[in-house]
Every structure is written in C-alpha cells, then in structure tokens.
C-alpha cells in the first residue's frame, strides 16, 4: 500500500462522465452514499436500451432522500462548449471519465461513434482539465482538477500471448478500433500529464458484469436467450477465456484510486489493471449462468449452444495481473462468478 494512501474525501466534488452507464451509475451511487457531491454527465445515447439508463439515473436521484448532492447534465462530451460549461459550473476536484462508445463488435459496424466519443470527447475532457488551472482561486480554495481517472480497457492487450497481462507489457497491437481508442486515451493522458502536470490514472477494466449491466454484453444476451429457450452463439467454438470482474470490485478499485493521484517526481500518469485475475473458460461461465438462472427462476434453464468461429476484433483470452493495484492500493477483486452471477440473475429475473 502507498505510504501516502488517502481514503475517499467527501469534501471534494466529483465529476463522473457516463453516469447513466453501468459502471458510472454504481460509482456515483457509492460516492453519494458516502456523502460526496457528484455531478454526472451522459448523452443518453440509444446504443442500448435507454430505459435502463433512465432507471439507473432514477436510482441515483433517490439516494439520501433525493438530496441536492447529485446533479445530472444531459450532454455530449464531443461538444466542447458543453464540457467547458460543466467544468465552469461545478468546478470538479476529481474527474472520472467513464463515458465512451463501448463494445468491440460494434466498432466494426460504426467506427465513427468511437472517434466521436472516445477521441474527441476525451480530448475535450483533457482540455477542460487543463483549463481548470486557469480557475485556481485562493479565495474559494479551488485548485483545479487534482486527479483525472479514466476508463481504459483490457482490450488494449490485443491478442497478447503472455499471461497474466501486466501493465508494462507491449500494447502496440490493438485488434479493434475500440482498443485503439482506449490505447490512444492512455497516450493522450500521458501527454497532458507531461505538458500541463495534470495528474491522471488510466484503469484497464476487465469484462465487468453484474446487476443493471450492459445489454450488449454476452452474458446479458445469453441470459435472455437461455430464458427464452433460444440458441446462444458461442464464438471460437467455446475456446475463449475471460477475466470476468464483478461490478462491486470494479467500483471498490476505482474508489481507492480517486484521492490518490500518481505521486510527484516525474510525469504524473499511471495505468492499472482492474480484473479478477482468474480467467474463466467461457463454457464454465455459461454453465454457472445456467445454474444461477435455474436457481432464481426455480426451473431448469439450459442453454442451446450454436458454436461459431472467432469474430473479427475479438481476442481469445483476457487475464489481468493485479500486482500493481495490490502493491499501491492493497486491493484485489475477490468476487467469484458463482456469487456474482447469482446476484446478476436475481436482478435480471425481476427487471426483464
Ligand atoms: N463494462 C466493461 O466490461 C468494460 C470493460 C472495459 C472498459 N470499459 C470502459 O468503462 C467505461 C464504462 O463502461 P460501461 O460498461 O459502464 O459502459 P456504458 O455504455 O454502460 O456507459 C457509458 C455511458 O457513456 C455515455 N456516453 C457515451 N458516449 C458519450 C458522449 N459522447 N457524451 C456523453 N456521454 C456518453 C453512454 O450513454 C453510457 O451511458 C467505458 O469507457 C468503457 O469503455 C468497460
């Protein structure tokens, strides 16, 4: 653990982008429950079911009896004026950039969406962080943005063979445009740290799942199809491994990083993996999901499987090394898929 480690500071203002998204929602919830002020922005795009995004937001509005600690702004990061106005109004101390066009397969279909949100949007965030230093104000004590934390992804490791994936491994061979935008974010953040002394931390998340999760992800469509007795498509003939990471573990990891920007003495930019460090064979994951769905519905749920070849942009295996995270923050995800999928299945049965 870092000797200078600091717990979450409820006196700070946190700006979360992508707050109506899966991870953004749970992070905002955690911060609000601990008495923090949270401003959240999201463009509410219809890449997946917007009503799910609305219900996540409605949940946030109710925390602490609907206190004024949470402000929501519907707006697009690709619009520079909007981003600047949000920074001017809320003067965040800590910025967490989670807004992005996510998904690997969709980046083949609609590459432009990735450039818009992940490149232009992230550039606007970096610029707003940089210009927050023009607002430093001795009277109010505002110091500008003290830490930018942003979502990267395990997809930056591409088809690397060496496992577990460690932060210092070469990540110069992305196999999807999504991965290329995430790697670009790391490079862009590094440059802003170098040029403007913006302290920044990139978090490479590994396949995040849980209640209120993303309908475009495989476990979600698998669940719907298993319950409807429709066949599920399993790529690479099932020979795939994923380091599935439960949402609460991701949020705990992010929470520990927030008030701990990379230390002075060099460029203040660092990258961490947050993953379970326990890759699951996809077929075992599906069996565990069948059991969880059977348990919550009280009847046997069996998947009908259609095996297909590997899809372009996909990778056969993800596996996180969490040594760096453990060393600096004394934390490592611990939730196994048996426990995590049961919680997901219970929510899924009620919501859908
Ligand atoms: N869920 C995972 O398994 C996973 C894995 C690795 C990395 N990530 C990254 O973590 C972050 C959060 O992922 P998530 O699973 O919560 O995704 P999500 O799609 O549920 O959330 C992203 C949110 O950002 C919003 N958004 C997208 N473009 C925007 C824009 N231009 N302006 C404003 N809002 C915009 C969307 O409406 C959405 O609500 C993303 O950056 C994603 O790439 C997620």
Phi-psi region of 227 (alpha: psi -120 to 50; beta: other; left: phi over 0): alpha
pLDDT, mean of residues 248-266: 96
Can you say whether the dihedral through the CA atoms of 90, 92, 96, 101 is positive or negative? positive
Q: Is a pLDDT exceeding 90 seen at residue 30?
A: yes
195: three-class secondary structure by DSSP: helix
- Report the percent of the chain where pLDDT is more than 90: 95
Choice among 48, 106, 150, 178 that is catalytic: 178
- Nearest CA-CA partner of 39 in 62, 18, 66, 21: 18
Averaged pLDDT of the chain? 97
DSSP structure string for 131-168: HHGGG-BTTTTB-S-SEEEEEEEGGGGTT--SSSB-TT
Pocket of ligand 1 (CB under 6 A): 18, 20-24, 41-45, 53, 76-78, 98-102, 117, 121, 151, 153, 205, 207-208, 214
Q: Is a pLDDT exceeding 90 seen at residue 67?
A: no
pLDDT score, position 233: 95
Model confidence at 66, pLDDT cuts 50, 70, 90, reads confident
pLDDT score, position 335: 98
Could you give all domains of the chain from N- to C-terminal order, each with its CATH number?
A: 13-206+247-277+319-334 (3.40.50.720)
The upper half-sphere exposure of residue 53, i.e. CA atoms within 13 Å in the direction of its Cβ, equals 19
pLDDT score, position 352: 79
99 C-alpha to ligand 1 centroid (Å): 4
Q: Is a pLDDT exceeding 90 seen at residue 176?
A: yes
- Nearest CA-CA partner of 124 in 44, 168, 188: 188
The 10s digit of each residue's pLDDT in 76-113 is 999 999 999 999 999 999 999 999 999 998 999 999 99
Distance CA 142, CA 135 (A): 7
What does the longest C-alpha to C-alpha distance in the chain come to? 65
The 10s digit of each residue's pLDDT in 179-193 is 999 999 999 999 999
């Amino acid at each position: 653990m870092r000797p200078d480690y600091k717990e979450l500071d409820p006196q700070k203002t946190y700006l979360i982008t992508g707050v109506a998204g899966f991870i953004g929602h749970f992070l905002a919830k955690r911060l609000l429950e601990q008495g923090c002020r949270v401003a959240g922005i999201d463009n509410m795009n219809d890449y997946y079911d917007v009503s799910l995004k609305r219900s996540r937001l409605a949940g946030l509005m109710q925390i602490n009896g609907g206190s004024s600690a949470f402000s929501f702004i519907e707006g697009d990061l690709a619009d520079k004026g909007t981003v600047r106005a949000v920074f001017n109004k809320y003067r965040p101390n800590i910025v967490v950039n989670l807004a992005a066009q996510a998904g690997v397969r969709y980046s083949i279909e609609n590459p432009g969406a990735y450039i818009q949100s992940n490149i232009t949007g992230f550039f606007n965030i970096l610029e707003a962080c940089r210009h927050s230093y023009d607002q430093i104000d001795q009277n109010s004590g505002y110091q500008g943005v003290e830490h930018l934390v942003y979502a990267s992804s395990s997809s930056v490791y591409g088809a690397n063979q060496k496992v577990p994936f460690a932060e210092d491994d070469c990540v110069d061979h992305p196999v999807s445009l999504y991965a290329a935008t995430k790697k670009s974010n790391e490079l862009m953040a590094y440059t802003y740290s170098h040029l403007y002394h913006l302290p920044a931390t990139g978090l490479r998340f590994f396949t995040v799942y849980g209640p209120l999760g993303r309908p475009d992800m495989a476990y979600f469509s698998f669940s719907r199809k298993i319950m409807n007795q429709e066949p599920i498509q399993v790529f690479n003939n099932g020979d795939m491994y994923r380091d599935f990471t439960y949402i609460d573990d991701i949020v705990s990891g992010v929470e520990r990083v927030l008030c701990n920007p990379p230390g002075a003495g060099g460029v203040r930019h660092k990258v961490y993996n947050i993953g379970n460090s326990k890759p699951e064979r996809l077929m075992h994951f599906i069996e565990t999901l069948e059991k969880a769905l059977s348990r919550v519905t009280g009847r046997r749920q069996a998947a009908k499987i259609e095996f297909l070849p590997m899809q372009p942009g996909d990778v056969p295996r993800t596996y996180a090394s969490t040594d760096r995270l453990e060393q600096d923050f004394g934390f490592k995800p611990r939730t196994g898929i048996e426990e995590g999928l049961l919680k997901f299945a219970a929510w899924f049965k009620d919501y859908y």
